[in-house]
A and B are shown apart, each in its own frame.
Chain A
Amino acid sequence: MNNAFFTNFVYIISSILFAFGLRFLGSPVTARRGNMLSALGMFLAVIATLVNGDIINFKWILIGVAIGGFFGALVAFKAAMTQMPEMIALLHGCGALASVLVDWTAYDVNGASNLTNSITLCLSIVIGGLTVTGSAIAWGKLSERIPGKPILFTGQKWFNSLLIGAIGTLSIIFILNPSHYAIFLILLGLSLLFGIFLVIPIGGADMPVVISVLNSYSGIVACTTGFVIHNTLLIVVGSLVGANGIILSIIMCKAMNRSIVNVLFGAFGNVVKKISTDEKKEAKSINVEDAFLVLENAKSVVVIPGYGMAVAQAQHAVRELSELLEKNGCDVKFAIHPVAGRMPGHMNVLLAEANIPYDQLFEMDAINPLMENVDVAIIIGANDVVNPSSRHDKSSPIYGMPIINADKAKSVFVLKRSMATGFAGIENELFYYDNCRMIFGDAKQTIQALVAEFKQAQQH
């Protein structure tokens, strides 16, 4: 029995463990076990590779592992849950960069021996290169180191077409003459440049899609690198990750009722028009005392959180309010829109962090049929995802986007700083409905005031 057989045998076991790890993520009850299995699979794969016999020098490996492990643990423990999207973007970028470096080493040592090799090598560095810088820009936008709004300049379309043309031409030249080291480097450089220009025109609100797409790219790169260095495990894992990114991108696009092409390339030369309504309508506001009286008599309450809630750091106050409401005999549910938050599933994590049990969290499709029987819908920091004009107003930019039917509830409270429009800059007609009341002010302070009212009432 030779070494290669042993290594590949362990790789099969690792693949099985990775598959079960993902399978167990199907339920929050088994998810942690899944994560452990997956980590075990990784550990086995690393050990099998180390004892394989190809490796003769451990010094540099130890240095690399120490540096990477230290920073990995540091970031994992330090990142706040609101920062999760930027952390994920950073991990996409690092994974893709590692793949590109492995490709580069393989090219440096072995060159490209045949046509298959040069094609996969070329694909790998092009996709890898743009994933590295694309993720870096996404990370910058999400952490607000770069302005979140689309960055556009005149001639952008031409510039990008030129860049794509250059990458395409050089790819063909490289595939035909893979021995030109300079072409390899220029191709890598152009791909890195392209990643930047691919992501800068995409606005902050579309980042959930961008993150998902980059996720699938990072998987595809692992896959192509697997072809370059003939490693089956990389191909298996890369495909799993690639599939993951594709599925999440589709879900996010559906939730915004946009095509993936529109999200990724829609901003080119397309400025969102601000729609002004001619008729002067008046939104009715309500103060905290009156809101408390309504809530005290409510039998069922649905909370609809948006990213604004996380910005106001109101999650813990919301949990307190929900506990007091339940003590008061009221049924409290949380309705989560798929694009609430900055990445897929982000809002669930933010609420879980505030100790809100996950059986109280409901998906859009699960909650909508129940909305008519709900006494009060409380909207905290959400706007476009509850805008009823998406159902009937064909001129609205969000026409056709699935929303949470907050307007169907008997009364609706909207916690908001002012009447300003949301991300998309669209007027929300819900605010002018007869059953809707605005509670102006900082969401956290408003919720805390409601909590104080409840506590006072209990003492009497």
Chain B
Amino acid sequence: MELIYLLFILVLSVFLGFALISRVPPLLHTPLMSEANAICGIIIVGALVSAGAQANNTLTIILGTSAVALATFNVIGGYLVTERMLKMFKKKEGSK
């Protein structure tokens, strides 16, 4: 039952994704991609559990900590670079 409920979420999210992304103008496709990178860093929630749950196994500590570092890299790098790019998009001064 669990599987079917996860698949349900998957299908609806894919539709949501297509609906949302197709409305983003080509003007913003590069920031869109870096934004996608940033939210892809959501894997951090999985990584946190990997790094923090089992403190007794060297392998999982190494894997988990590396995963946390990589995911944080995505989150911080993604959001900051998106913000940096979006800040540059300006309208013409004095235009209506």
The chain A residue sitting closest to B95, CB to CB, is A359
Docked-complex contact A64 and B21, CB < 8 angstroms: no
- Which parts of A300-337 form the interface with B (CB within 8 Å)? 336
| Main SS class of interface, A | helix
Docked-complex contact A56 and B55, CB < 8 angstroms: yes
A60 interface neighbour in B43, B64, B79, B92, Cβ under 8 Å: B64
Chain B residues within an 8 Å CB radius of A109? 53-54, 57, 60
A300 to chain B, nearest CB (A): 16
Chain A residues within an 8 Å CB radius of B61? 60
A192 to chain B, nearest CB (A): 15
Docked-complex contact B20 and A98, CB < 8 angstroms: no
Docked-complex contact B88 and A353, CB < 8 angstroms: yes
Docked-complex contact A105 and B43, CB < 8 angstroms: no
Docked-complex contact B82 and A95, CB < 8 angstroms: no
| Main SS class of interface, B | helix
Summed over the interface, the residue pairs from A and B with CB atoms below 8 Å come to a total of: 361
Q: Does A288 contact B (CB under 8 A)?
A: no
Q: Does A57 contact B (CB under 8 A)?
A: yes
The chain A residue sitting closest to B72, CB to CB, is A68
Docked-complex contact A336 and B26, CB < 8 angstroms: yes
Chain A residues within an 8 Å CB radius of B90? 352, 355, 357-358
Docked-complex contact B70 and A94, CB < 8 angstroms: yes
Query: Given A55-B52, A358-B90, A360-B92, do A39 and B66 touch, yes or no (CB 8 Å)?
Result: no
Docked-complex contact A98 and B37, CB < 8 angstroms: no
Docked-complex contact A68 and B73, CB < 8 angstroms: yes
Interface positions of A (Cβ within 8 A of B): 14, 18-19, 21-23, 25-29, 31-32, 34-35, 38-39, 41-42, 45-46, 49-50, 52, 54-58, 60-61, 63-65, 67-69, 71-73, 75-77, 79, 81, 84, 87-88, 91-92, 94-95, 97-99, 101-102, 104-106, 108-109, 116, 211-212, 215, 218-219, 222-223, 225-227, 229-245, 247-248, 251, 336, 338, 343-346, 348-349, 352-353, 355, 357-361, 363
Q: Beyond A116-B3, A239-B16: 16 further Cβ-contacts under 8 Å?
A: A32-B86, A32-B87, A42-B39, A55-B48, A57-B55, A60-B64, A68-B75, A72-B76, A98-B44, A101-B63, A219-B36, A222-B40, A234-B42, A244-B17, A345-B26, A345-B33
